[in-house]
Amino acid sequence: MNADSHTSQPVPLRLFAYGPLAGTITVPGDKSISHRSLMFGALAVGETIIDGLLEGEDVLATAAALRACGADITRTATGRWHVHGVGVGGLLQPRTALDMGNSGTSTRLLMGLFATHPITVTLTGDASLSRRPMARVTEPLTQMGATFTTAPGGCLPLTMVGAALPLPIRYVLPVASAQVKSAVLLAGLNTPGRTTVVEKIATRDHSERMLAGFGAQLHIEDTPAGREITITGEAELRPQQLTVPGDPSSAAFPLVAALIVPGSSVTVTNVGINPTRDGLLRVLAMMGADITQTNIRSVGGETVADVTINAGVLTGIEVPPDVAPSMIDEFPILFVAAAFAHGRTTLRGLEELRVKESDRLATMAAGLIACGARVTELPDGLIIDGSGGEPLAGGATVAAKLDHRIAMSFAILGLNCRDAVTVDDARPIATSFPDFLPLMAKLGASKGQ
Ligand code: S3P
């Protein structure tokens, strides 16, 4: 969050729908791709032009950090950004600490970039980010030659001294994490030789696709050990003209809203459906949702579609754990959908959710139970016995715990409750989806006092 969000008071939120939701909306640009567009543009020599950049606080934190390290970044219209890069190896030491706000992606990917530049950088963050584990990134980056001084538990604030003589490594990811994978690949950009990351389960592959587009030499191979991604270092990146597709993680909220408010029909256009990101749509279809994808096309090297969903009552299932990486940010809103399904939904293998912007298993279980849902919290997941389409009681104030996706999930849950649901603080929504409220209003769900 920005300085204002730190100092201002919590902003409670209640959303109401007085009838079915209807209409067509376009959600803002993909957060993961927006961060990477700025970062790779900052490392290219020449001007990268980006259209459709997400102008949420997390991405703005990335832009500010890159500017502080010498990149020239300007905005000329809504979503249109120009980046004059400094070249791989050309980042400068910032004069002051860099504030990462709430953004884990900015923090972990930039740590990778900085780790193989001979600069000293201090990173700070808000209360949520300062609780999140960074050892998963400092560990491989230490092997590459960077050194770190961290707060207890390996957390922010931390100071990194980047390696003057970086070493290439072969790193098998201990957790399925696109952020860790990307941090090592980005460190590999300014490292002599070949840096390899091995992932057992495929995570979002935007770094690989985009680095190849910027001209980096990448080799990807499926092996018995997993997917091996090798980057050849001391790369030269060529500037690009990019269009950022719509964020499937933001589209998830209006789509599930349409599913649970009886009689609704909503279309979200230009939604990224990269197979490493489309797990929610696949799981909702397995649960019987009436979803169609039309106008499938390519935008900025990614497949996008217009996604239409009609209200309906889902059937509970056992969600296959291997789908998790392709919908890792969508579980809070899937839990909401499951709370209105017929029968039991069992979700396991989700321990990673405990180290997101909040502990998403505990935060969601507490809020769902407070609103009358039947939920059992497991160490690695939730069991949710749905209402069979009946409205939940609601009537509670739920804690969003500085977590944008928790805040939006409970705002949506409130659309099908007998009594209003109050989200204690909606400010974090601005980190990823600043247009959430106006777009929901366009569909017929608006704020109450
Ligand atoms: C992201 C990767 C995921 C996701 C995050 C964005 C990325 O994190 O939760 O919102 O852009 O690489 P993990 O890599 O920690 O799973």
Count structural domains, the chain.
Answer: 2
Measure the CA–CA gap between 234 and 197, rounded to whole angstroms. 17
pLDDT at 7: 56
User: Which tens digit of pLDDT belongs to each residue from 199-211?
Assistant: 999 999 999 999 9
Asked whether the predicted pLDDT for residue 94 surpasses 90, the reply is yes
Q: So what's the pLDDT on residue 3?
A: 40
Q: What are phi and psi of 6, to 5 degrees?
A: -65, -35
The residue whose C-alpha atom lies closest to atom 10 belonging to ligand 1 is 329
Distance 23 CA to ligand 1 centre (A): 30
Last residue of a domain, one of 186, 212, 242: 242
Alpha carbons 62 and 281: distance in angstroms, whole number: 29
Are 25 and 35 in the same domain?
A: no
Containing H/E element for 445?
Answer: strand 445-448
Instruction: Say if residue 158 is in the same domain as residue 22.
Output: no
Q: Domain ends where: 176, 209, 242?
A: 242
Could you read off the pLDDT of 235-264 as tens digits, one per residue? Answer: 899 999 999 999 999 999 999 999 999 999
Q: Which pLDDT belongs to residue 8?
A: 85
**Which one of 105, 330, 351 would you pick to mutate in the ligand 1 pocket, going by the greatest count of ligand atoms within 8 A of its CB?**
105
Same domain, residue pair 286 and 209: no
Region 104-132: mean pLDDT is 98
CA 428 to chain centre: 13
Rg of the chain on CA atoms, in Å: 21
Q: What is the 3-state secondary structure (H, E, C) of the chain?
A: CCHHHHHCCCCCEEEEECCCCEEEEECCECHHHHHHHHHHHHHEEEEEEEECCCCCHHHHHHHHHHHHCCCEEEEEECCEEEEEEECCCCCCCCCCCEECCCCHHHHHHHHHHHHCCCCEEEEECCCCHHHCCCHHHHHHHHHCCCEEEEEHHHEEEEEEECCCCCCCCEEECCCCCHHHHHHHHHHHHCCCCEEEEEECCCCCCHHHHHHHHCCCCEEEEEECCEEEEEEECCCCECCCEEECCECHHHHHHHHHHHHHCCCCEEEEEEEECCCCCCHHHHHHHHCCCEEEEEEEEEECCEEEEEEEEECCCCECCEECHHHHHHHCCCHHHHHHHHHCCECEEEECCCHHHHHCCCCHHHHHHHHHHHCCCEEEEECCEEEEECCCCCCEEECCEECCCCCHHHHHHHHHHHHHEEECCEECCCHHHHHCCCCHHHHHHHHCEEEEC
350 with 323, same domain: the answer is yes
329 included as an active-site residue: yes
* Same domain as 392, residue 440: yes
209 and 258: one domain? no
Residue 254 near residue 269, CB atoms below 8 Å:
no
> Do residue 219 and residue 354 come from a single domain?
no
The pLDDT, as a whole number, for residue 268 is: 98
Same domain, 276 and 402: yes
- Confidence grade of residue 1 (pLDDT, cut at 50, 70, 90): very low
**Residue 448 binned pLDDT confidence (cut-offs 50, 70, 90):** confident
Same domain assignment for residues 290 and 180? no
Q: Which of 278, 329, 403, 425 is catalytic?
A: 329
Provide the annotated binding site for 3-phosphoshikimate.
31-32, 36, 177, 179, 329, 356
Whether residue 204 has its Cβ less than 6 Å from ligand 1? yes
Closest CA to 371 of 337, 330, 406, 422: 422
H or E stretch covering 309:
strand 302-310
Q: Which mutation among 274, 328, 405 tests ligand 1's pocket best, with the greatest number of atoms within 8 A of CB?
A: 328
Q: What is the mean pLDDT of the chain?
A: 97
Q: Amino acid letter at 280?
A: L
Q: What percent of the chain has pLDDT over 90?
A: 97
pTM: predicted TM-score of the whole model, two decimal places: 0.98
Determine whether the shortest distance from the Cβ of 249 to ligand 1 is under 6 A.
Answer: no
**How much is the average pLDDT of 35-40?**
98
Amino acid at position 211, single letter? L
Cα angle: 155, vertex 159, 160; to 5 degrees: 110
Q: Whole domain around residue 430: which residue ranges? A: 4-29+245-448
Query: Is 22 exposed, middle or buried, given 0-12, 13-18 or 19+ CB atoms closer than 10 A?
Result: middle
Strands 120-124 and 155-161 come out as antiparallel
Q: Which of 226, 242, 258 is the last residue of a domain?
A: 242
For residues 19 and 61, what is the distance between their CA atoms, to the nearest angstrom? 38
Segment 210-231 mean pLDDT: 97
Torsion, Cα of 49, 52, 57, 60 (10° steps): 0
Q: Is 178 in the pocket of ligand 1 (CB under 6 A)?
A: yes
What is the predicted pLDDT for the residue at 449? 61
Q: Is the CB of 103 under 6 A from ligand 1?
A: no
> Is any ligand 1 atom within 6 A of the Cβ of residue 432?
no
Helices (H), 215-291: 248-260, 279-286
| Ligand 1 centroid, distance to 155 Cα (angstroms) | 17
Listed in sequence order, the residues at least 6 apart from 205 whose beta carbon sits closer than 8 Å to its beta carbon are 178, 274, 276
420-433 per-position pLDDT tens digit: 999 999 999 999 99
Q: Are 55 and 83 in contact (CB under 8 A)?
A: no
Residues 212 and 315 in one domain: no
Ligand 1 atom closest to residue 325's alpha carbon, by position in its atom list: 16
Give the closest residue (by CA) to ligand 1 atom 16. 177
Band of residue 2 on the pLDDT scale cut at 50, 70, 90: very low
Residues 193 and 338 in one domain: no
**pLDDT tens readout for residues 262-283:** 999 999 999 999 999 999 999 9
pLDDT digits 0-9 by tens, 70-84: 999 999 999 999 999
Pairing of strands 374-378, 290-299: unpaired
Alpha-carbon separation of residue 41 from 34, 54, 81, 116, 120 (angstroms): 11, 15, 10, 17, 22
For residues 363-380, give the mean pLDDT. 98
* 233 shares a domain with 182: yes
CATH number at residue 54: 3.65.10.10
73 phi/psi in degrees, rounded to 5: -125, 125
Instruction: Determine the average pLDDT of the residues in 29-33.
Output: 98
